[in-house]
Structure 1
């Protein structure tokens, strides 16, 4: 009887696979299993009816979303249709989502509700065609995404009370957060030094922005120079208050004559201190050195005599060897993260003195 059921489903799969996905979806709305008992075990004929209804209901969806031809998918489902619990099979056809139906068919329906599936899909990144986009991995150290934060000693880069004067309400003013080599921020009322912010590929800066005694309630927004002001505030204030906030401001790429623009809703003085910046990662060459072990006499006519060397703390062993000696050569070696041993052989008639060396490397600064 199972063979009859299997043949029935395979024929069903072949028939459905020849129909356009749109037609399958149309039929799915009206497809119902015929003469299937609502309780109890399923006969092979009843299983065939449920399988047909299941394929007609979800075949188009599987083909469109998962890019699996209906016929191929239906044939793959034959073992599941043949062995699914009767009640689970009936309940699977009542589910509103394919993922929920699949979970029910496999016996895990209680763990995945249709509401959970719908919520997950609403959050998923879908292509315009409705096909799930694959996650694209990026290389570690991506210059475009893996920015590295570097803190600097807090340093003043602007103070309108010292230079430039109060910033009038609903107006903007442009400022620098990065200077050239030998430059400073004194023209903006800031430090006479470069604050550690000489141009070096910075992509964004971290600033403590302070509004000083504004004439009314409002907000200020700092944003990249040359771009449209976003509908967001960097700091909110009330009349006469002194309020500050820590913000991250993206810088233009490539750098231009100015770095960021400051908009104020109410007339106010402003002070800004730089505390750090983000920049693309920079490849760092390994720092390596060769460390030697003690001299050892390798006995005459021996094989497998071991000589060792170790790395300093913080270094990792990357290679092994021995100093040249008459009639002495490497037979084998064993290396670990901290050092290693070279197993030698001496084919000469006298003992020979040699020593092992190990190449030790580390990432500078670690």
Structure 2
């Protein structure tokens, strides 16, 4: 099949690019070697030189795939899949220092997000390791401690202005000091407070924030371009190959460039971890040609 292609298109290469047929066939060797039989057949049957190149480079197959119906696969949602941000434990409220005990069978509202200083509700005098400066977040991970309740009962923490769930965040006995770690969804509207706490009995309450769930932020790729510069003789063809990507980076693309107007890029194609380009020099003077590979990675990996 390769013989048929070279026999059919060699004279065209010789006439159009003034290249030696045998040299062109040798330089095209890597392309022929990686092409499946159906691609070689399409190249041999092609009626034009560009169609022959497209067949060898897989463009025809890619075009067919682009026309086929595509069923996307959901791998995540930026509105429902959240990012957990842990922080060193930080006190956001203490009713012993501010507000007094929560009365029996009553609800008190608390501010959790967008807080520069939590001391107004008995918490830390700061934004709790950046949590208060993170803007609104969907849920908080809080260690609740009930201090000396008047009788046995429970507290329930839940989003502000929503129906109180039939569930307990901390169960306690009279005079007890009881704690529990809980994930509490928060109100995301314009209200000053985001969390409500119901208590069955009179009790003091302490709450320490240890983390929060916030909408994920897309992470931009870190990319760089590597290149190989070579000299192509006059009135000849040349196959250039890019260098490999640095360790930790993956090749995401590549392209070619000839330094003079007489230089022509005949083909540009991936070759495993490298990028290759077939050049033709249509002038008598040697020129520089460059093959680039674009390399990217996810930051921190």
TM-score (norm 1): 0.55
Q: Structure 1 residues 249, 203: CA separation in 2 closer, same or farther (over 3 Å shift)?
A: same
Compute the RMSD of aligned alpha carbons: 2.6
Who is 1:329 aligned against? 264
Contact 1:309 1:341 in 2 (8 A): no
Aligned residues: 227
Contact 1:317 1:337 in 2 (8 A): no
Distance of 2:77 and 2:256 partners within structure 1: 39
Who is 1:276 aligned against? 211
Give the C-alpha shift of residue 189 in structure 1.
1.0
**Could you tell me which of 169, 172, 176 is aligned with 2:111?**
176
Contact 2:156 2:168 in 1 (8 A): yes
Which runs of structure 2 are paired with 1:135-150 in the superposition (5 Å)? Answer: 139-150=74-85
TM-score (norm 2): 0.66
Who is 1:189 aligned against? 122
Distance of 1:336 and 1:217 partners within structure 2: 72
Who is 1:347 aligned against? 282
Contact 1:158 1:273 in 2 (8 A): yes
**Could you tell me which of 239, 242, 247 is aligned with 1:313?**
247
Give the C-alpha shift of residue 231 in structure 1.
0.8
Which runs of structure 2 are paired with 1:41-80 in the superposition (5 Å)? Answer: none
Distance of 1:199 and 1:294 partners within structure 2: 45
Q: Structure 1 residues 201, 299: CA separation in 2 closer, same or farther (over 3 Å shift)?
A: farther
Give the C-alpha shift of residue 143 in structure 1.
3.7
Contact 2:188 2:194 in 1 (8 A): no
**Could you tell me which of 89, 96, 102 is aligned with 1:161?**
96
Contact 1:296 1:307 in 2 (8 A): no
Deviation digits for residues 289-325 of structure 1 (CA, Å, limit 9, x no counterpart): 3x23242222344334223133333333232123431
Does residue 128 of structure 2 align to residue 202 of structure 1? no
Report the structure, 1 or 2, having the larger strand content: 2
Deviation digits for residues 27-61 of structure 1 (CA, Å, limit 9, x no counterpart): xxxxxxxxxxxxxxxxxxxxxxxxxxxxxxxxxxx
Which runs of structure 2 are paired with 1:275-314 in the superposition (5 Å)? Answer: 275-289=210-224, 291-314=225-248
Distance of 1:138 and 1:299 partners within structure 2: 49
Who is 1:26 aligned against? none
1:222 alignment partner, SS class: strand
2:198 alignment partner, SS class: strand
Who is 1:102 aligned against? none
Deviation digits for residues 57-99 of structure 1 (CA, Å, limit 9, x no counterpart): xxxxxxxxxxxxxxxxxxxxxxxxxxxxxxxxxxxxxxxxxxx
1:186 alignment partner, SS class: helix
Distance of 1:356 and 1:318 partners within structure 2: 14
**Could you tell me which of 258, 272, 276 is aligned with 2:193?**
258
2:154 alignment partner, SS class: strand
Distance of 2:103 and 2:83 partners within structure 1: 36
Uncovered stretches (5+) of structure 2, i.e. residues with no partner: 1-71
Deviation digits for residues 226-257 of structure 1 (CA, Å, limit 9, x no counterpart): 12211100011223332221111111132412
Structure 1 consecutive aligned stretches of length 4 or more whose deviation exceeds 6 Å: none
